[in-house]
Amino acid sequence: MKAIRLLIQGSRVFAVTTFVSLAVSAVAAPVADPQLEKVIGQGKDAFTHNTFNGNGRVCQTCHLSGGMAPGKLPDGKVIPSLANAAAVFPLFKPRQGKVVTLPDQIRNCVEGALEGKAPAYGSDELNALVVYVTSLSQGKPIDMGGKPQ
Ligand code: HEC
């Protein structure tokens, strides 16, 4: 009897801990490397504060909640979140008639949406934004050319 009760309790504990760890992994995907964490933080800071000497907008003006929530254009039009952006890039942009990478897209948003000076390819500034936006897709399966969430 006692053994059976222990067994039942044991599996209940297992079920609860499994549920909790699944719930936690759905919310926050941990990144192990502190150096990587540091650059993610720098990118997040740029995403929420850097105007790139443009019209005063920052990335978060349109990509709300650090890019995790659906975005909103200044005219109120809703745009997809960046929650899986790094997983769906590179993708073909019919308007540009070519395949666009994540760094290309970020530079396009700096020049178009912020009317700012886009950081150079390979620069720490652009890399930090790429690293931050990529961190939002942590754990998402690669789905090149797929639909944004
Ligand atoms: C004025 C609003 C606005 C601002 C500010 C803005 N963006 Fe965008 N962003 C957009 C729009 C609109 C799209 C979709 C464009 C398209 O499909 O060509 C987009 C698309 C993107 C995408 C691709 C999303 C996907 O899944 O297709 C990324 C990544 C992105 N922006 C990053 C940034 C970053 C980083 C900044 C800051 C440097 C920024 N954006 C600033 C409006 C904005």
Encode pLDDT of 55-97 as tens digits: 999 999 999 999 999 999 999 999 999 999 999 999 999 999 9
- Closest CA relative to residue 103, chosen from 80, 85, 83: 85
**Is the model's pLDDT at 99 over the cut of 60?**
yes
Ligand 1 centre to CA of 114 (Å) is: 10
Q: How many domains does the chain have?
A: 1
Share of the chain above pLDDT 70, in %: 80
- Closest CA relative to residue 43, chosen from 129, 146, 139: 129
Other C-beta atoms closer than 10 Å to the C-beta of 58 total 18
Share of the chain above pLDDT 90, in %: 79
pTM of the predicted structure, to 2 decimals: 0.84
Structure tokens at 137: 């897709």
3-state secondary structure of 148: coil
- Residue 4: the pLDDT is 46
Structure tokens at 136: 């939002």
Residue 141 maps to a domain: no
Residue 3 maps to a domain: no
- Tell me how long the chain is: 149
Structure tokens at 24: 């936690």
Q: Which domain holds residue 83?
A: 26-136
**Can you tell me the mean pLDDT for 28-52?**
90
Ligand 1 centre to CA of 139 (Å) is: 21
- Residue 88: the pLDDT is 98
Q: Choose one of 51, 92, 95, 105 to mutate for the ligand 1 pocket test, by most ligand atoms within 8 angstroms of C-beta.
A: 105
**8 A C-beta contact, residue 59 and residue 107:** no
Give one word for 97, left, alpha or beta, with left for phi > 0 and alpha for psi -120 to 50. left
Cα gap 89→8, rounded to integer Å: 47
Residue 19 maps to a domain: no
Residue 67 maps to a domain: yes
3-state secondary structure of 100: strand
Q: What is the CATH number of the domain that holds 42?
A: 1.10.760.10
Residue 5 maps to a domain: no
Supply the angle between the helices 124-136 and 102-112 in degrees, to the nearest 10. Answer: 110
Residue 7 maps to a domain: no
Ligand 1 centre to CA of 49 (Å) is: 15
**Can you tell me the mean pLDDT for 27-43?**
84
